[in-house]
């Protein structure tokens, strides 16, 4: 079987609630499975939220929001992920989910992470974003190369990069060189670079065009399919981010007027791939992308289409000069400290008074 059905969940978290967002994810996994999806994808840091407040509010105003983010971030081996692993097993699906990950070695070191879980509930890939982008550095620490892996599954060879990582040519090449067929790129709902009235007339960041450009370039070079899965910003998130800001009106305006990200599929030439949604009555409806509404968008990907383009540009094989270029990737998991404890043998002899 070469055709895989992929579901991209264009949805919002229950803002800054790990438990409720996990429950929402499990419901969506079951819904997508009923619609015969074999791979279900969630956006960047779906659990518990994306910290867009750091783009719009002064850092001195964000202590309470960071504390909530740290509290509601989750462990990669914690209860929330275990529940999602169970859902993947129950529905016989692969699940890709973005999380804000807590570390075990600190009370507030967080990572922007993505997990790929297979139909048995096993974690295939645990990737931490290599470098937080721009204002994200106020929330997340840099990751490592451990997760630069393509998982070879019954429904395709699947790789993932998170948001701005899709601008990193070496990270992308490291996935191409592992026979990637389905490339998952995950994105936030919005990514503002300016507050409108303070922009001096400059345009805000067109994240829809930028995201598609990056993903399309990767698909064309790798000859793989692209799954762009983007978050959705709801009213609850807007109200929470706005509350308490010294410039509440400006923050709300930026949140409401920033261009919303879109979820879509690309083919191995980088072109838009046909997609569809399901109505409440189960009717399949053609849809190019999802942007201004929550929902699940689906596509059927024929993996045989990843072959033909390799005749023209196989950038890790026949169209590469391995004698000229060499890439080395360190996939060691980085830990802050390595303890080496000597074994101490206690003297258990009885000591007499004379000694």
Quick: pLDDT tens for 222-252.
999 999 999 999 999 999 999 999 999 999 9
pLDDT > 70? residue 120 = yes
pLDDT at 202: 62
In a domain, residue 330? The reply is no
Residue 38 counted as domain residue: yes
The answer to whether residue 344 sits within a structural domain is no
Cis peptide leading into residue 48 (ω within 30°): yes
Count Cβ atoms below 10 Å from residue 287 Cβ, excluding itself.
17
Q: Which residue has the tokens 């509290």?
A: 71
Percentage, residues of the chain above pLDDT 70: 94
Res. 15 pLDDT band, cuts 50 70 90: very high
Residue 41 lies in a domain: yes
Domain, as residue range, for 53: 3-312
Number of structural domains the chain divides into: 1
Q: Is residue 348 part of a domain?
A: no
Q: With contact defined as beta carbons under 8 Å apart, do 121 and 84 qualify?
A: no
Q: Report the distance separating Cα 10 and Cα 208, nearest Å.
A: 14
Instruction: Quote the CA–CA distance of 158 and 4 in Å, as a whole number.
Output: 11
Mean model confidence pLDDT for the chain: 94
141 in a structural domain: yes
What pLDDT digit, counting tens, does each position of 179-221 carry?
A: 999 999 999 999 998 876 655 556 778 889 999 999 999 999 9
First to last CA, the chain: 81
Angle of the 18-34 helix axis to the 79-91 helix axis, nearest 10: 10
* Residue 246 within a domain: yes
Q: Please give the pLDDT value at position 195.
A: 79
Q: What is the reported pLDDT for 197?
A: 60
Rounded average pLDDT over 137-147 = 98
Q: Which H or E run includes 68? A: helix 63-72
69 in any annotated domain: yes
* pLDDT on residue 203: 73
- The confidence score (pLDDT) of residue 204 equals 78
pLDDT digits (tens, 9 = 90+) for 59-90: 999 999 999 999 999 999 999 999 999 999 99
Stretch 99-112: mean pLDDT, rounded? 97
- The mean per-residue pLDDT over the stretch 314-341 comes to 94
**DSSP summary character for residue 76:** T
pLDDT of residue 2: 84
Q: Give the pLDDT confidence of 274-306 residue by residue, as tens digits.
A: 999 999 888 999 999 999 999 999 999 999 999
CATH number of the domain residue 52 falls in = 3.60.110.10
Q: How far is CA 341 from CA 204, 334, 336, 338, in A?
A: 54, 20, 16, 10
pLDDT digits (tens, 9 = 90+) for 2-13: 899 999 999 999
- What pLDDT does 73 receive? 98
Within a 10 A sphere around the Cβ of 332, how many other Cβ atoms? 8
pLDDT value of residue 189? 98
Taking alpha carbons only, the member of 332, 12, 308 closest to residue 144 is 332
Share of the chain above pLDDT 90, in %: 88
Neighbours of 200 (CB within 10 A): 6
Long-range pairs, 62-70, Cβ under 8 A, ≥24: 62/138, 64/244, 65/240, 65/241, 66/108, 66/138, 66/139, 68/16, 69/16, 69/100, 69/110, 69/139, 70/102, 70/107, 70/108, 70/110
Contact indicator for 161, 183 with CB cutoff of 8 Å: yes
């Amino acid at each position: 079987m070469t055709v895989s059905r992929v579901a991209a969940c264009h949805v919002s978290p229950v803002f800054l609630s790990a438990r409720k967002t996990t429950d929402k994810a499990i419901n969506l996994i079951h819904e997508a499975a009923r619609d015969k999806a074999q791979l279900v994808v969630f956006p960047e840091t779906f659990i518990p939220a994306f910290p867009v407040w750091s783009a719009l509010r002064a850092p001195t105003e964000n202590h309470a929001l960071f504390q909530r983010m740290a509290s509601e971030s989750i462990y990669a081996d914690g209860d929330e992920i275990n529940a999602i692993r169970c859902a993947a097993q129950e529905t016989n699906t692969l699940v890709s989910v973005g999380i804000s990950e807590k570390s075990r070695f600190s009370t507030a070191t967080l990572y922007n992470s993505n997990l790929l879980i297979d139909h048995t509930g096993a974690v295939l890939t645990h990737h931490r974003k290599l470098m937080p982008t721009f204002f994200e550095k106020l929330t997340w620490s840099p990751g490592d190369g451990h997760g630069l892996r393509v998982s070879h599954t019954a429904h395709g060879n699947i790789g993932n990069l998170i948001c701005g990582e899709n601008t990193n040519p070496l990270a992308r090449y490291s996935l191409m060189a592992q026979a990637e067929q389905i490339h998952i790129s995950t994105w936030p709902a919005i990514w503002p670079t300016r507050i409108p009235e303070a922009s001096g007339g400059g345009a805000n960041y067109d994240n829809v065009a930028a995201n598609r450009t990056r993903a399309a370039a990767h698909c064309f070079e790798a000859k793989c399919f692209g799954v762009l899965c983007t978050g959705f910003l709801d009213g609850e998130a807007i109200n929470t981010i706005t509350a308490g800001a010294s410039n509440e009106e400006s923050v709300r305006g930026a949140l409401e007027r920033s261009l919303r990200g879109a979820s879509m599929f690309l083919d191995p030439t980088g072109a838009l791939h046909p997609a569809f949604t399901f109505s409440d009555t189960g009717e399949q409806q053609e849809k190019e992308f999802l942007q201004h509404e929550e929902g699940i968008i689906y596509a059927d990907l024929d993996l045989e289409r990843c072959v033909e383009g390799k005749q023209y540009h196989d950038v890790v094989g026949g169209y590469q000069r391995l004698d000229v270029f060499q890439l080395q990737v360190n996939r060691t998991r980085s830990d802050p400290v390595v303890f080496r404890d000597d074994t101490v043998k206690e003297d258990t002899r009885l000591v007499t008074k004379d000694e």
